[in-house]
């Protein structure tokens, strides 16, 4: 009975995710096409509902978040990016570029340097919601700002399309979206063809002190679902809820996924330390040696590499079908 219930829930979540993606993408495109047709300018609505009008195609872009930088390079407008954060490291070694004087740092991620931004004379600033406190002052100074804050894979598609329209790269953006969709479809089809009767349940650890995971309103939840899994906190609407160790034990995940920590010791210490958490020796994932570490750089934010994220999780859940990327 429990297995049938899990399969039913997983099926409903997958169908809802696909339907939501189609609805959001079509309607969002229609909305912006209508706004654009009202005049010769480009009028766009970002993820926070802010309306921005561009009078020409931007030629100097400042990115205040690694996810925004990755979208620009994915759709072929990376040559217009004149400033990035100290956390940007994909698809190129931007810190080496900064050191060589070939790119300008606009400060730490979440702490933008206004003087550096001003010196670059940007005609478009791309950001995520981490910089919300600084955005009103940027707009007050006349800067054009788009905030990208996707909570789903459909939202990632939406943001790629948004940046494509803003930068005159709509065709390239559409191609990127189609490529991601095709790659994810190939993964979900392979899992479906395997006739797996019981989806693997997953605990994705975001942080350890306090213990945190991903709720239903995150793209990570979508990634787990598309990888053929069931997020044990899919019934929690908070994006990144604090959870108790006892609850994780009670929900008994088949798989535990931990991100690596870039540059320093992982926040959880080691896999052995996680497995030694009091009471966790009874969790199926620990009993069956199914505690996996994945690349935190890949999973640091919702970005155009989301198909690689889905594959990485699928490889943890169904190693008999997918080769590990770790």
Mark whether 164 and 219 lie in a shared domain: no
Q: Is the domain of 35 the same as that of 92?
A: yes
Give the rounded distance of the alpha carbon of 173 from its chain centre. 17
Q: What is the pLDDT of residue 227?
A: 98
Q: Are residues 203 and 167 in the same domain?
A: no
Q: In terms of domains, do 150 and 277 share one?
A: no
User: Whole-model pTM?
Assistant: 0.86
Residue 290 sits in the same domain as residue 212: yes
Q: Is residue 1 part of a domain?
A: no
The pLDDT value given to residue 263: 56
The verdict on residue 39 lying in a domain is yes
Please check whether residue 123 lies inside any domain of the structure.
yes
Q: Are residues 217 and 113 both part of a single domain?
A: no
CATH code, domain carrying 205? 3.40.50.1980
Which of these, 73, 159, 68, 156, lies nearest to 106 by C-alpha position?
A: 68
The answer on 155 and 30 residing in a single domain is: yes
**Minimal CA–CA distance to 216: which of 7, 3, 9, 67?**
9
- Cβ distance 285 to 203 under 8 Å? yes
Say whether both 171 and 264 belong to one domain: no
Domain end position, chosen among 175, 204, 223: 175
Q: For each successive 10 residues of the chain (326 residues), what is the average pLDDT?
A: 41 45 46 47 96 97 98 98 96 97 96 96 96 94 97 97 98 98 98 94 94 96 97 96 97 96 76 95 97 91 96 96 84
Contact 36, 30 (CB under 8 A): no
- Give me the domain span that covers residue 63: 18-175
Q: Are residues 107 and 152 in the same domain?
A: yes
Say if 271 falls within a structural domain: yes
For residues 48 and 124, state if they share a domain: yes
Q: Is residue 241 in some structural domain?
A: yes
Residue 120 domain-assigned (yes or no): yes
Tell me whether residue 5 is in a domain: no
Residues 207 and 243 in one domain: yes
- pLDDT, position 266: 86
Q: How many distinct structural domains can be found in the chain?
A: 2
Indicate whether 184 belongs to any domain.
Answer: no
- Other C-beta atoms closer than 10 Å to the C-beta of 116 total 14
Query: Which residues, 6 or more positions from 158, have their beta carbon under 8 angstroms from its beta carbon?
Result: 24, 25, 28, 47, 150
Q: Sign of torsion, CA 86 207 184 324?
A: positive
Is residue 201 domain-shared with residue 275, that is, in the same domain?
Answer: yes
């Amino acid at each position: 009975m429990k297995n049938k219930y899990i399969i039913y829930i997983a099926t409903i979540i997958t169908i809802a995710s696909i339907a939501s993606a189609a609805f959001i993408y079509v309607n969002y495109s229609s909305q912006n096409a209508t706004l654009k047709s009202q005049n010769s300018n480009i009028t766009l609505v970002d993820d926070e509902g802010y309306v921005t009008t561009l009078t020409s195609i931007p030629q100097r872009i400042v990115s205040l978040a690694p996810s925004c930088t990755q979208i620009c390079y994915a759709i072929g407008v990376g040559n217009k990016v004149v400033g990035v954060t100290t956390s940007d490291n994909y698809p190129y070694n931007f810190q080496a570029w900064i050191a060589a004087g070939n790119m300008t740092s606009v400060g730490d991620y979440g702490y933008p340097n206004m003087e550096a931004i001003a010196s670059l004379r940007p005609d478009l600033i791309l950001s995520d919601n981490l910089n919300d406190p600084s955005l009103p002052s940027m707009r007050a100074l006349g800067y054009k700002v788009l905030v990208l804050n996707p909570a789903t894979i459909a939202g990632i598609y939406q943001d790629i399309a948004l940046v494509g329209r803003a930068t005159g790269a709509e065709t390239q953006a559409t191609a990127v979206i189609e490529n991601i969709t095709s790659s994810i479809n190939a993964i979900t089809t392979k899992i479906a063809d395997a006739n797996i009767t019981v989806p693997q349940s997953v605990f994705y650890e975001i942080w350890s002190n306090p213990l945190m995971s991903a709720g239903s309103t995150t793209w990570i939840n979508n990634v787990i679902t598309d990888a053929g899994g069931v997020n044990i906190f899919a019934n929690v609407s908070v994006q990144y809820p604090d959870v108790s160790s006892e609850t994780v034990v009670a929900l008994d995940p088949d798989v535990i996924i931990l991100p690596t920590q870039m540059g320093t010791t992982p926040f959880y210490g080691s896999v052995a330390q996680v497995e030694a958490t009091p009471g966790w020796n009874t969790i199926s994932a620990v009993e069956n040696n199914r505690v996996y570490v994945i690349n935190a750089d890949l999973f640091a934010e919702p970005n155009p590499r989301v198909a690689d994220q889905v594959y990485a999780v699928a490889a943890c859940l169904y190693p008999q079908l997918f080769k590990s990327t770790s």
